[in-house]
Amino acid sequence: MLDVAREKQQKRNRFETMFTILRLCTKGSKKTHIMYRANLSHQQLEKYLAILLERNLLAIEEGSYVTTPRGMVFIEKFKELNNFMDEGNSNLNGGLKNQRNLRIQ
């Protein structure tokens, strides 16, 4: 899963930002909480909330933003893709280490 340190080190793409918002809203969150926890400006927050609401990934219930079942699917698929990409990096790094070892011997 993405960690906070990684999010602060480099710029997130829009899917990472949507993932962060949806994850924060799994149990319901107010706008201010989302804005501060996701480290977004008010303008950015409004843009992403509109996108997520329009695509039925987020809903408003009793004044809080809540991740919908469809949003939960997004979270799971995002995690799967992230894990898939991480596995590719570790295989690549392992392959490079093996190539270095062959050259040294």
CATH code, domain carrying 63: 1.10.10.10
Residue 87, pLDDT score: 85
Which structural domain, as residue segments, surrounds residue 69? 4-76
Question: Among candidates 27, 73, 23, which has minimal Cα distance to 48?
Answer: 23
Average pLDDT over all residues of the chain: 84
Average pLDDT for 21-41: 97
Is the per-residue pLDDT at 24 higher than 80?
Answer: yes
Is residue 100 included in any domain, yes or no?
no
Distance CA 76, CA 67 (A): 12
Distance CA 72, CA 68 (A): 6
Is residue 96 included in any domain, yes or no?
no
